[in-house]
Structure 1
């Protein structure tokens, strides 16, 4: 008797290699996967603008990387003793506008250069809802933006919330994809929908939102070559389908759920021969995070020595890996 729905995950015609450059952009779920890929020594740049949820914000950010947009003070606004950008996460906000611009423009430059050599762009869409500035906003805030990627805890009356239509989402993504392929012809794109439930929108509106994202993405994947869909949403919602796979807030997938999705992603989008190496690298990361209660014991020194030798052997066998941090850490034996 089968107790779980199985999703067929055929391997695509192009696969991710360890030496490839991966740019991931979108919701908080993409950062869980991106961090795990980084720990397995993939070359990953994630969310140069910070976390983004809706397709309009994602597209605007990608186009700004293509154009290598330089932000000025006119693009910032002042609220709650900090200078913010409507296009960026609050991690770029600062008490000094020049410092905020320094952080933003350094990230823009890095994203522009990285996108030139990116092999795989992973886009995780979270919500079809977007926010627009209203006339209720302060003059400086109104002048510095229209669409909003992050609300920065501004008063609710400053914004108009709207659910984008399927046609609007397709049009925006279609235009962006054309610009991306002109900028970097070797680019491949993987779309995925975040399984995080946006309960603040209400259960019904959350499902309407996800449905519009799904329909839009599948339309584009069927239209373009080098576009792929990975079912993160379906793996959590339809395969795991249980609250024990959610965090205490009951909307964010927990560690076992994200690990399950990551495992399926690697099985689908990388070669089978790469998987044993990735497991070795993951074990090395776990060992590095280990904190001994008795670091002066011979047992801990032997633990460090064993993993130092393992890291050295992997570095020599796979010269494209960068294991210098691990080698330096385990050499403390």
Structure 2
């Protein structure tokens, strides 16, 4: 007897190579997958503007990278003792405008360079709702705890989302002729919008994404949303807030992602990287024993051999750890 429905995830073609340069942008779920990619030694730049929820803010951030935009003091505002950017997550906020700009423009420079050379752009859409400042109609990527009265909220129609992403992608494909784009829709429930409203928002995002994927050859869709909402389909796979998928759910999506999207050779390399990462988590009762020293030496050789065979892997921390100098 089956107690849940599962579905096959179609293999990605072309698949992601371990040596590829990746750029991830979007919701907090993009951070979950991006963190796992980086932990497993993929060359992934994650959310250069911080977490972005709506597709227009994501498209706007990509346009800023394509424009080579540098932020200045006029792009910032002050609220509750901190300087913020309406285009960025609060992780870029700082007590001085100079510090905020340094952080923002350092990340901006990395994103500008990465978008030029990226093999894959992975976009995770979170919500079709956007917020605008009432005083000047400016769309904001983050409200920075400014009172709700300062904004008006609207639900984006699919055609506006499609147009914004379409325009961004035309520019991107002209600049970077090799990049592929993988779309996902976040399984995070935005209950602050209301459950009915959240489902409407997700439906618009799905409609927009599939319209684009069917239009372009270099666009693809990975069903992270469906894996959590329709496959796992249980609140035990959510955190205590009943909104965010928990670690078990994220790992389930990650396993499907690596199986479906990663090149077979990359899957073999992933297994070797996992072995080294697990070994690094080993905590001996007595680090001075000959057995532990042999263990360290054996894995030092494994790391050396792996990086020699795959020079794109950055395993400096692991090399230092197994050589006995973790700092």
TM-score (norm. length: structure 1): 0.93
Residue 120 of structure 1: how far off its partner (Å): 0.3
Question: Within the alignment, does 1:207 sit opposite 2:164 as a pair?
Answer: no
Unaligned 5+ segments in structure 1 are: 136-141
Unaligned 5+ segments in structure 2 are: none
The equivalent of 1:163 in structure 2 is 155
Residue 291 of structure 1: how far off its partner (Å): 4.8
Question: Within the alignment, does 1:24 sit opposite 2:21 as a pair?
Answer: no
Q: Deviations over 1:142-175 (max 9, x none)?
A: 6xx8111111111111111111111111111111
Q: Deviations over 1:301-326 (max 9, x none)?
A: 34433322221221223233222221
Question: Within the alignment, does 1:55 sit opposite 2:47 as a pair?
Answer: no
The equivalent of 2:5 in structure 1 is 5
Distance 1:149 1:291, change over 3 A: farther
* C-alpha RMSD of the superposition: 1.6
**Alignment partner of 1:238: what SS?**
helix
The equivalent of 1:191 in structure 2 is 183
Residue 7 of structure 1: how far off its partner (Å): 1.8
Whole-Å Cα distance in 1 between the matches of residues 153 and 296 of structure 2? 53
TM-score (norm. length: structure 2): 0.95
**Alignment partner of 2:69: what SS?**
coil
- Residue 308 of structure 1 contacts residue 330 of structure 1 at CA under 8 Å; is this kept in 2? yes
The equivalent of 1:126 in structure 2 is 126
Residue 45 of structure 1: how far off its partner (Å): 0.4
Whole-Å Cα distance in 1 between the matches of residues 12 and 291 of structure 2? 46
**Alignment partner of 1:225: what SS?**
coil
Residue 277 of structure 1: how far off its partner (Å): 1.6
Q: Deviations over 1:92-130 (max 9, x none)?
A: 111110111111111111110111100000000000011
Q: 1:266 aligns with which of 239, 258, 263?
A: 258
The equivalent of 2:304 in structure 1 is 312
Distance 1:203 1:179, change over 3 A: same
- Residue 193 of structure 1 contacts residue 210 of structure 1 at CA under 8 Å; is this kept in 2? yes
Residue 299 of structure 1: how far off its partner (Å): 4.8
The equivalent of 1:38 in structure 2 is 38
Whole-Å Cα distance in 2 between the matches of residues 234 and 269 of structure 1? 16
The equivalent of 1:86 in structure 2 is 86
Residue 294 of structure 1: how far off its partner (Å): 4.5
Residue 329 of structure 1: how far off its partner (Å): 1.3
- Residue 39 of structure 1 contacts residue 281 of structure 1 at CA under 8 Å; is this kept in 2? no
The equivalent of 1:276 in structure 2 is 268
The equivalent of 2:317 in structure 1 is 325
